[in-house]
C-alpha cells in the first residue's frame, strides 16, 4: 500500500476505508466489523468515519473493529457543520473519541 509521510514522520496510507452507511443496521454490525478488520489485515489501515454517519453508529462500529488493533490504524473522523465553532468543537471531538473508544 502506498503511503505518504506526515510532518512528524509517520507514514499514512494514501487510500483508506470509508464507513458511510455502517452502523445503520445492527444486524449487519458483525459483518461490518469483519470487513474493516479484513481491510486492516490487507494494509488498509486508514479508516475514515464521521459523527453524522448513522448518528455516530459508524464510529461505534469502527471502535469495535479497532479495539485490539488501535496501534495498527489511523482514524479520521469529521463533525457536523453546526459543531464547527469554538464553543462546540471540543465537545464534538470528545463524543467521537468516546464512540471510537480512543483515549486522548
- pLDDT tens per residue across span 18-40: 999 999 999 999 999 999 999 99
Got the DSSP string for 4-28?
EE-TTS-EEESS-EE-TTTTS-GGG
* Whole-angstrom distance, CA of residue 12 vs CA of residue 63: 19
* Whole-angstrom distance, CA of residue 19 vs CA of residue 61: 9
The pTM of this model reads: 0.93
* Whole-angstrom distance, CA of residue 65 vs CA of residue 59: 10
Domains of the chain, by residue range, sit at 16-100
Got the DSSP string for 37-52?
HHHHHTT--EEE--TT
Percent of the chain with pLDDT over 70: 99
In this model, does residue 103 exceed pLDDT 90?
no
Amino acid at each position: 500500500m502506498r503511503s505518504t509521510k506526515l510532518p512528524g514522520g509517520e507514514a499514512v496510507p494514501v487510500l483508506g476505508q470509508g464507513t458511510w452507511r455502517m452502523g445503520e443496521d445492527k444486524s449487519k454490525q458483525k459483518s461490518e466489523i469483519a470487513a474493516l478488520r479484513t481491510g486492516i489485515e490487507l494494509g488498509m489501515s486508514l479508516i475514515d468515519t464521521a459523527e453524522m454517519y448513522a448518528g455516530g453508529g459508524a464510529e461505534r462500529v469502527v471502535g469495535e473493529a479497532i479495539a485490539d488493533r488501535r496501534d495498527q490504524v489511523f482514524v479520521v473522523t469529521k463533525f457536523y457543520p453546526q459543531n464547527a465553532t469554538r464553543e462546540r468543537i471540543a465537545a464534538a471531538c470528545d463524543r467521537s473519541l468516546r464512540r471510537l473508544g480512543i483515549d486522548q
